[in-house]
Amino acid sequence: MSIIRMFVLTLSLAAAVLCGAAETVEQGKGETKPASPVDRKFPAEMEAAGKAAAEKLALGLAESLKSGDFAYFEAAQPQGDRRMPKETFAKMRARLIGHYGNFAGAEYFGRLDQGRVMDFLWKLAFEGPQKAPGTREIIFWVRVGAADGKPVIAGFSFYFN
């Protein structure tokens, strides 16, 4: 799964921007000071919007895993230059299906409060092939931070068992 791990490392740079030690520059002085403690917490009033953004991505991924049509995941990804390309998705999907079986469904699992970000979790279920029948589940998480009063997807990954 090295291609997935490489992608996660790339996305972790965005998370580092949101999660790192924030500093502010006092206007006109050029001096930096640590951000206030209230800036170090994901805003509670943004949780519903953050979950909605994460859900859009997770369900887009689920539909693309099921159908093989990258368009669903492509449309669900946030705009910007850190989008997963079609070729990477195709390799990731082939490896997931090859290892776990055919995609069977996604179910919201919960959230983890990580301070400045929230991790929203989904269980992705796969049905094993004839030679290894049964359902296998993995966790797909979407990390959401806040910027300019809006939720921002900072990264996503899988937790494999």
Domain extents in the chain: 2-159
Could you tell me if 89 and 73 are in contact, meaning their C-beta atoms sit under 8 angstroms apart?
yes
Residue 131: what pLDDT?
67
The pLDDT mean for the chain works out to 81
Query: If you average pLDDT over residues 22-38, what whole number do you get?
Result: 46
| 63 has pLDDT over 70 | yes
- Report residue 78 as tokens: 């946030």
Q: State the distance between the two ends of the chain, measured CA to CA, in whole angstroms.
A: 13
Could you read off the pLDDT of 37-58 as tens digits, one per residue?
Answer: 445 789 999 999 999 999 999 9
How far, in Å, CA of 91 to CA of 161, rounded? 20
How far, in Å, CA of 87 to CA of 51, rounded? 27
2-159: which CATH architecture?
Roll (3.10)
How far, in Å, CA of 82 to CA of 77, rounded? 9
Could you tell me if 108 and 141 are in contact, meaning their C-beta atoms sit under 8 angstroms apart?
no
Task: State pTM to two decimals.
Answer: 0.75
